Amino acid sequence: MSNSAMAVNEQVPGTRLTLDLWHPDCWAIEATGEVGGGVLAHAIYNSPQTSGEMPSSVNGLFTAFGDSEAEVEALLEKIQASDRAGDLQQLQERFGRQRNAPGNVVREFFLEYDPDDMVCPTLLENGFVHSAPVRIEDGREEWQVCFADERSKIEPALESVREQAGAEVSVAAITASEPAGSERDQRLDSLTAAQRNVFEHAQESGYYEWPREVSTRELAADMDVSKTTLLEHLRKAEAKLLDP
């Protein structure tokens, strides 16, 4: 558990957390663990059941993202090949999410799958309410959640999630509760991993100070990339963060 997770002993009600999570039987975790790109999970739709029983399948709205068309195509093919995924329907419309979705290439899709494979009900049962789309990359899920009870109860609740779902869960960040989904957070979430790494390193190194404390050549050397590559990532990050 990270140092931030140790702060759960503080008695402050109302807490926002970023959870790094893995759980078994997840098509998105399996697919992103094998190929590049990532998935944003937006919403889940249940089909009406006249019997009143839980549906045998649900449909989710997702965004596949990546640095290239080939990367996204490979990811979608891997998802479609999963024995845990049902029908996949790519969408022509992007519901206005182009600007906020990470990656240079994005594709929205509906996917049918087994609700028993979801970890969301277990999180909710233990007091964790997600406040933003779930981001899945490199075989891991990133959950932005709110926990309304005292911080001292977070760790027992996380342990319950681990036991019930067979999950691996750690706390990547923890803060006092505040309005979720700020515009700045949404724009940061729209960056690819490379864009965010370059932008944050430039910010921390004083690139945006006046006068500048570091050159693009020095930043490129720090990150072991060419100046051209660094500038490409930096300009794309700036466009997403600064575009009104």
Domains in the chain, ordered, with CATH? Answer: 3-22+120-183 (3.30.70), 27-117 (3.30.1360), 191-242 (1.10.10)
Rounded to 5°, angle at Cα 95 from 94 and 101:
65
User: Which distant-in-sequence residues (6+ apart) come within 8 Å of 30 by Cβ?
Assistant: 82, 84, 139
Which residues fall within 8 angstroms of residue 98, CB to CB, at 6 or more apart?
106
Provide the pLDDT for residue 4.
38
Looking at the predicted structure, is the pLDDT value of residue 184 above 90? no
185 or 95, which is more confident = 185
Query: How many angstroms separate the CA atoms of 195 and 201, rounded?
Result: 10
Are 215 and 221 contacting, i.e. CB atoms less than 8 angstroms apart? Answer: no
- The token duo for 69 is 């068309």
Angle between helices 193-204 and 227-242 (to 10 degrees): 90
Contacts of 224 (CB under 8 A, 6+ apart): none
pLDDT value of residue 122: 94
pLDDT of residue 171: 92
Q: How confident is the model at residue 203 (pLDDT cuts 50, 70, 90)?
A: confident
